[in-house]
Structure 1
Amino acid sequence: MQADNRKKIVFLGTPQVAEKALRILLEAHQFLKVILVVSQPPSRSLRGKGDVPSPTHKLALERGIPVLTPHSAKDPIFLSDIKLLEPDLCITAAYGNYLPKDFLAIPKFGTLNIHPSLLPLYRGASPVQRALEVGVNKTGVSILFSVAAMDAGPIAAQEEFAVNNSIKAPELLDILFEKGAHLLIKTLEKLFSDKLKTEEQDHSKATKADKIKVEEGILDFKMPALALHNKVRAFAGWPNTKSSFILNDEPIEMKIITTRVSENSENSKIGELIFTKNSLNICCGDTQILEILEMQLPGKKVVSALDFQNGIKGKLLKLDL
């Protein structure tokens, strides 16, 4: 029987973007063998139908790959289990758990991470969201070695990606993790053939991408229209953006799903709200217009501005300032 000389991989990841990266990694089975998947613990079902495994967990079960779901990667039993497997390499992609030094010391070739930014920019939990929030026109993905400090390890590879002014965070995350997975495979070929050259990050240029708070999704129309548009793009998916309105003297809260920015051709005043055929226009703090193209009322589906306008025909809508 021929010996299996493939490199033994432990993959750590949780959400859908990590599942996509794992699928791509499994395609490289000619020289890689994923021997274990580590994911965050299953979440509780909203309908009371038991625990729901993460997308990465589900894929591993489909492919017959063992799965561990520790609450903490510092757990001594978890660390002991990883040591017993003697992995050649560990790979992380949106895992969502801190990896201690004891873990990082286990794999022979170290631990590589797919991070969706051009490090040292946007280190932290929300790199794509924070980049879109400030309106970047370029981002990318980095493959780096994990160290004790967050996202501070040596860079093994990077790839840039041009950002347009309409792309939202979920779409950009999908793109960057897919690109990152393909870039990772090229990087592994160099790593295992001893041809990989790494580069230390310039820590003086590091920026943070702090975890998003729910209250950040509340739109303040005293802000410039472009800043609000970028928030809508950045916080799409979670926590979403929303604002309060008055509909026939009744307060309502509405999610703002899709927007764009236009010039104030009607000389509207700040806070003024005007319906056009395809949008709900709001004059913002810089007197520019935020066009709301799609919105969602609580418990309802996402609708176009035209459908929303038809649904409230004859009723008075204004901002709850």
Structure 2
Amino acid sequence: MARCSPPLLRRFFCCAAKSASATSAAASTKKKNIVFLGSPQVAASVLDTLLAASSSPDSAFQVAAVVTQPPAAKNRGRKLLPSAVAQLALERGFPGDLIFTPERAGEESFLSDLKGVRPELCVTAAYGNILPQRFLDIPPCGTINIHPSLLPLYRGAAPVQRALQDGVAETGVSLAYTVRALDAGPVIACERFSVDEFIKFECTIILLVWCLSVRED
């Protein structure tokens, strides 16, 4: 698997723009709509980076909607609280009516809302819900997943924990197209880094997000 320099999502959009058919000058400068899907804190870190990047005048994309798990009962009071991704989106001033929280990604009302956003691409990071084919058929550029391993290694759940348990010398983050089979789509790009024998799990997660969105050539 070739080593690819981040920011990976920016690279992806640049490549997509070059390969797209020519349109009018006005259309070529219009930002592409993406929809982000994620739920836990590590996904919120990715969303934060995407929102910051999309605010740049020369950004190729804008975050048009956010999809996350519904509010869940947490803590001793069992109070319903939004996911970390929903909290981050609201803190950043993202419109609440564009934060979708379906129980299942195949719900008709949700799919209708998603179509209304007209996403060019969907990006997932630890969303925690199976995406049906009807969902995958909506964005013309497909859906890509941010997976914290060097695919095809460590497909599925807990890839960071499993890699550290195996004592691997390096790990990384991959961008791959989402297909119906788990983490089996074509890999678009990856970023590698060495694993120090004393590195902690939380530090690894931070490094993965950093590799994805912060480092420059």
Q: TM-score range by the shorter chain?
A: 0.7 to 0.9
Contact 1:44-1:51 at 8 Å conserved across structures: yes
Runs of 4+ in 1 over 3 A off after TM superposition: none
- For residue 182 of structure 1, report the CA deviation from its aligned partner: 4.7
CA distance in 1, matches of 2:136, 2:209: 22
Contact 1:140-1:176 at 8 Å conserved across structures: yes
Q: What residue in structure 1 maps to residue 39 of structure 2?
A: 14
Residue correspondence of structure 1 range 227-242 to structure 2 within 5 A: none
1:52 has 2:81 as partner:
yes
Q: What residue in structure 1 maps to residue 7 of structure 2?
A: none
Structure 2 SS opposite 1:179: helix
Q: CA RMSD in A?
A: 2.1
1:23 to 32, 42, 48: 48
Letter in 1 for 2:77: G
Contact 1:21-1:178 at 8 Å conserved across structures: no
> Higher relative contact order by CA 8 Å / sep ≥ 6: 1 or 2?
2
Structure 1 SS opposite 2:175: strand
2:94 to 31, 54, 64: 64
Q: What residue in structure 2 maps to residue 36 of structure 1?
A: 65
- For residue 88 of structure 1, report the CA deviation from its aligned partner: 0.7
Change beyond 3 A, Cα 1:125–1:110: same
Letter in 1 for 2:157: A
Structure 2 SS opposite 1:28: helix
TM-score, normalization by structure 1: 0.54
- For residue 43 of structure 1, report the CA deviation from its aligned partner: 1.8
Residue correspondence of structure 1 range 296-315 to structure 2 within 5 A: none
Contact 1:114-1:177 at 8 Å conserved across structures: no
Deviation larger for 149-158 or 2-11: 2-11
CA distance in 2, matches of 1:52, 1:174: 24
Q: For 1:251-308, what per-residue CA distance to the aligned partner results, in whole angstroms no more than 9, with x for missing partners?
A: xxxxxxxxxxxxxxxxxxxxxxxxxxxxxxxxxxxxxxxxxxxxxxxxxxxxxxxxxx
1:130 has 2:155 as partner:
no
Change beyond 3 A, Cα 1:49–1:148: closer
Identical aligned residues as a percent: 50
- For residue 177 of structure 1, report the CA deviation from its aligned partner: 2.5
Structure 2 SS opposite 1:77: helix
CA distance in 2, matches of 1:27, 1:179: 16
Deviation larger for 29-38 or 173-182: 173-182
CA distance in 2, matches of 1:82, 1:124: 25
Query: Higher helix proportion, which one?
Result: 2
* Structure 1 gaps, min length 5: 187-321
Letter in 2 for 1:46: N
Letter in 2 for 1:32: F
How many residues in Structure 1 have an aligned counterpart in Structure 2? 184
Structure 2 SS opposite 1:117: coil
Deviation larger for 136-145 or 59-68: 59-68
